[in-house]
């Protein structure tokens, strides 16, 4: 059954009452699809019977093949028949469900085009409600179909009920009847067909011992629908265990003694061994398969390549399965990572010795020693980065239980940081909050469900240094094309632990300083391109704070191309100066101003204007200027997507 509410209904006792059975196939009504649990002591708990499907005593088909016939009876008990779903919508939903089954069975099985009845009016449910009186509604639907001359023989008889309950669907296990409660989702239909074919739910298996999560030790709980990868759980795919039950698996291997097996991707198909069954001496059966983020295993939006790809371990349980958390304590990670081990209560050790994009190799060792804490990490190194250190180490042996993380400790101060690392594959960490000028050493311990390893040998001491300013160029961007020159604009952030303002910033092009500024804030520095050849050049900004610490931005590489822009000035006539310009880059011209230098005030002043501008020229007035010669310049401003640039043309201004 697929449902729509949470296990809170069970906890609240809302599902406790059940109507008496009135036929051989009627049983207690199903529970919610959400994660209901039963708790029993290990080594192998006696699981209470989950009443979440209509269980029958019919025979389970040994192998399922061919197109299976489907009849859908749409029933209602209102004055008028519902407008939806139409017969076309029903056929489309069955067709999508058929594609799911065809994919899972690798073409062996599908659903035939269904017969869909017109809306059949029935008396409807009584006080028990739509869900609890499913058996009564089945009889009403069959009777109404027979009155209309509709034969009800089909391998799957689906009763569509226009009522909403906490369940989306219900199916006989095994059998042929499916109830859909106002739902035509393809995964719901395929899930209930799975029940008809004899499959029970795919659950997850969560265990705890000594106050921490374990893979198989201690007290364990079966979480209903807790397998996020399985159609019979809360996903779309299907494990080798369930595929084998239906005769859909293909090549498999069974081990009852030590051996090594290479598994091909179950998700992607192809040839090779697709499932490994390990038979324990006490009768338990462990099933292993290698899954990748392809096919139906990529259909669930909450699954990613990181949490799907790898070797999955499941424990067979009646007609269902229990997904083992091979890296207990990590979030949404069930796979057994490469190089990691899992030791069962029967002392069978499962180790993934190799893994590629298409296959994984598993070593099975019977009579293994009980799992212990990992060996201690080796090769610990530390590199200072500002007020932090990058600590790295080598992954140790897990000794029979997958590594779940590491604990890094800094001295002095006994400062610790825990790194979550399913399988122990992440072997580095950034250790922040350190004091500049203090020498630190680091040790690392590895963690698994059995405990923690001995501490590693300490790293060589490192001394964090004051970080200083953080400088970032925001214009231009790396790879930009620069015409003539550019303004290089940047942000400055003070050191958060030891803030000191910026006192100087320098712009370097190909290692040479071309401009600088004295400022406490970010600013723009100018590169006019003069003296530099066309082509690629390296830019960076170097900033110094009041404590004398100098930091630089990463190097940007920009391409300099010549500016196609020419400017000329006329003589002053009748107190007017005319500036004329030309060139293809004139199209990006924002403004033109003329400035002259006033020696008396030691300042640059703009001339009045421009007047009569347009057509590649502009006129400026010198009316209030005393006669004489002045140092002057034409400043032409350009804007491109790559940035802002001011082209400066110097000349001598003569005022008669």
Q: What is the pLDDT of residues 152-183, one digit of tens each?
A: 999 999 999 999 888 899 999 899 999 999 99
Separation of first and last alpha carbons in the chain? 99
Length of the chain in residues, anyone? Answer: 656
Q: Answer whether residue 40 shows pLDDT above 70.
A: no
Q: Answer whether residue 26 shows pLDDT above 60.
A: no
Q: What is the CATH number of domain 566-655?
A: 2.60.40.10
Q: Answer whether residue 612 shows pLDDT above 70.
A: no
pLDDT value of residue 94: 97
Q: Worst-scoring range by mean pLDDT, 140-154, 260-274, 345-359?
A: 260-274
Q: Worst-scoring range by mean pLDDT, 42-51, 198-207, 261-270?
A: 42-51
pLDDT value of residue 52: 54
Token pair 């006192």 in the structure block, residue:
503
Stated pTM of the model: 0.68
Determine the Cα angle at 284 with ends 281 and 286, to 5°.
Answer: 110
SS3 153: coil
pLDDT value of residue 125: 94
Write out the E strands in 546-585. 550-552, 556-561, 566-569, 576-582
> For 324, what's the count of Cα atoms within 13 Å in the CB-facing half-sphere?
26
Q: Where are the domains of the chain?
A: 8-196, 213-225+248-366, 378-452, 470-561, 566-655
CA distances from residue 290 to 137, 262, 297, 352, 482 in whole angstroms, order as listed: 43, 9, 11, 10, 52
| C-alpha–C-alpha distance, residues 484 and 559, integer Å | 10
Task: Please state, rounded to an integer, the average pLDDT across all residues of the chain.
Answer: 87
pLDDT value of residue 5: 30
Q: Worst-scoring range by mean pLDDT, 179-188, 215-224, 515-524, 600-609?
A: 515-524
SS3 473: strand
| C-alpha–C-alpha distance, residues 77 and 71, integer Å | 20
Q: What is the CATH number of domain 378-452?
A: 2.60.40.10
> Where does the pLDDT of residue 267 fall: very low under 50, low under 70, confident under 90, or very high at 90 and above?
confident
CB-based contact 285:315 (threshold 8 Å): yes
Q: Answer whether residue 343 shows pLDDT above 70.
A: yes
- Retrieve residue 524's tokens: 């723009």
Peptide bond into 627 cis (omega under 30): no
Q: Answer whether residue 73 shows pLDDT above 60.
A: yes
User: In 10 A of CB 515, how many CB atoms?
Assistant: 17
Q: What is the pLDDT of residues 458-475, one digit of tens each?
A: 999 999 887 788 899 999
pLDDT higher for 332 or 594?
594
CA distances from residue 476 to 305, 458, 469, 525, 644 in whole angstroms, order as listed: 36, 45, 20, 11, 9
- Retrieve residue 625's tokens: 């200027």
> Where does the pLDDT of residue 318 fall: very low under 50, low under 70, confident under 90, or very high at 90 and above?
confident
What is the average per-residue pLDDT within 55-75? 85
Q: Answer whether residue 30 shows pLDDT above 60.
A: no
Name the nearest CA neighbour of 216 among 349, 333, 325: 325
Q: Does 566-655 match 470-561 at the fold level?
A: yes
Q: Answer whether residue 10 shows pLDDT above 60.
A: no
> Where does the pLDDT of residue 434 fall: very low under 50, low under 70, confident under 90, or very high at 90 and above?
confident
pLDDT value of residue 19: 32
pLDDT higher for 37 or 154?
154
> Is 8-196 in CATH node 2.60.40?
no
Q: Answer whether residue 266 shows pLDDT above 80.
A: yes
CB-based contact 310:291 (threshold 8 Å): yes
| C-alpha–C-alpha distance, residues 261 and 349, integer Å | 13
CB-based contact 300:236 (threshold 8 Å): yes
Q: Answer whether residue 86 shows pLDDT above 80.
A: yes
Q: Answer whether residue 123 shows pLDDT above 70.
A: yes
Q: What is the pLDDT of residues 349-364, one digit of tens each?
A: 999 999 999 999 999 9
pLDDT value of residue 520: 67
CB-based contact 130:111 (threshold 8 Å): no
Name all contacts of 417-422 with Cβ < 8 Å and 24+ positions apart.
Answer: 418/447, 420/329, 420/330, 420/331, 422/327, 422/330, 422/333, 422/335, 422/337
- Percent above pLDDT 70 for the chain: 90
Calculate the dihedral angle through the C-alpha atoms of 170, 172, 173, 174, rounding to the nearest 10 degrees: -150
> Where does the pLDDT of residue 148 fall: very low under 50, low under 70, confident under 90, or very high at 90 and above?
very high
Q: What is the pLDDT of residues 541-600, one digit of tens each?
A: 999 988 888 889 999 999 999 999 999 999 999 999 999 999 999 888 888 999 999 998
- Percent above pLDDT 90 for the chain: 70
> Is 470-561 in CATH node 3.90.1150.10?
no
Q: Answer whether residue 47 shows pLDDT above 70.
A: no
Q: Answer whether residue 50 shows pLDDT above 60.
A: no
């Amino acid at each position: 059954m697929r449902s729509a509410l949470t296990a809170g209904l069970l906890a609240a006792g809302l599902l406790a009452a059940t109507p008496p059975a009135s036929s051989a196939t009627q049983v207690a009504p199903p529970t919610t699809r959400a994660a209901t649990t039963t708790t029993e002591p290990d080594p192998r708990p006696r699981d209470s019977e989950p009443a979440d499907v209509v269980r029958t005593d019919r025979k389970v088909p040994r192998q399922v093949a061919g197109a299976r016939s489907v009849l859908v009876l749409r029933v209602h008990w209102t004055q008028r028949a519902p407008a939806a779903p139409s017969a076309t919508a029903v056929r489309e939903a069955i067709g999508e469900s058929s594609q799911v089954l065809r994919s899972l069975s690798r073409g062996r099985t599908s659903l035939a085009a269904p017969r869909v009845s017109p809306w059949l009016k029935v008396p409807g449910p009584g006080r028990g409600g739509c869900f609890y009186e499913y058996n009564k509604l089945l009889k009403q639907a069959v009777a109404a179909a027979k009155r209309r001359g509709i034969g009800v023989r089909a391998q799957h008889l689906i009763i569509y009920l226009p009522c909403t309950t906490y369940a989306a669907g219900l199916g006989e296990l095994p059998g042929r009847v499916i109830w859909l409660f106002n739902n035509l989702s393809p995964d719901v239909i395929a899930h209930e067909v799975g029940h008809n074919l004899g499959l029970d739910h795919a659950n997850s298996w969560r265990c705890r011992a000594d106050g921490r999560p374990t893979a198989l030790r201690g007290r364990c709980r079966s979480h209903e629908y807790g397998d996020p990868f399985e159609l019979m759980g809360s996903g779309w795919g299907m494990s080798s265990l369930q595929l084998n039950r239906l005769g859909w698996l293909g090549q498999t291997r069974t081990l009852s003694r030590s051996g090594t097996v290479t598994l091909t991707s179950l998700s992607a198909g192809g040839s090779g061994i697709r499932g490994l069954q390990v038979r324990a001496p006490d009768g338990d059966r462990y099933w292993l398969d290698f899954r990748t983020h392809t096919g139906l295993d990529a259909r669930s939006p909450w699954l990613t390549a990181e949490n799907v790809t790898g070797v999955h371990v499941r424990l067979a349980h009646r007609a269902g399965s229990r997904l083992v958390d091979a890296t207990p304590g990590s979030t949404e990670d069930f796979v057994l990572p490469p190089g990691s081990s899992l030791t069962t209560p029967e002392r069978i050790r499962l180790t993934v010795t190799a893994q590629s994009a298409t296959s994984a190799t598993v070593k099975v060792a019977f009579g293994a020693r009980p799992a212990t804490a990992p060996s201690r990490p080796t090769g610990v190194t530390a590199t200072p980065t500002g007020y932090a250190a990058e600590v790295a180490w080598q992954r140790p042996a897990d000794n029979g239980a997958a590594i779940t993380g590491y604990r890094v400790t800094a001295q002095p101060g006994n400062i610790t940081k825990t790194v979550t690392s399913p399988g122990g594959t992440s072997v580095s960490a950034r250790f922040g909050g350190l004091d500049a000028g203090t020498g630190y050493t680091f040790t690392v311990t590895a963690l698994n469900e059995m405990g923690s390893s001995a501490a590693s040998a300490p790293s060589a001491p490192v001394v964090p240094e004051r970080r200083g300013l953080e400088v970032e160029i925001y214009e231009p961007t790396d790879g930009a094309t620069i015409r003539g020159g550019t303004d290089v604009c940047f942000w400055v952030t003070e050191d958060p632990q030891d803030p000191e303002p910026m006192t100087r910033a320098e712009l370097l092009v190909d290692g040479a300083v071309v401009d600088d500024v004295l400022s406490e804030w970010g600013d723009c520095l100018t590169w006019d391109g003069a003296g530099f050849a066309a082509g690629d050049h390296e830019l960076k900004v170097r900033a110094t704070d009041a404590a004398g610490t100098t930091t630089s931005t990463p190097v940007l590489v920009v391409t300099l191309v010549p500016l196609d822009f020419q400017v000329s000035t006329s003589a002053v006539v009748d107190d007017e100066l005319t500036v004329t310009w030309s060139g293809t880059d004139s199209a990006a011209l924002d403004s033109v101003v003329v400035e002259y230098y006033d020696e008396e005030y030691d300042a640059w002043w703009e001339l009045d204007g421009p007047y009569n501008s347009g057509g590649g020229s502009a006129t400026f007035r010198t009316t209030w200027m005393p006669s004489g010669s002045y140092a002057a310049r034409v400043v032409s401003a350009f804007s491109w997507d790559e940035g802002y640039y001011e082209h400066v043309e110097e000349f001598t201004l003569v005022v008669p």
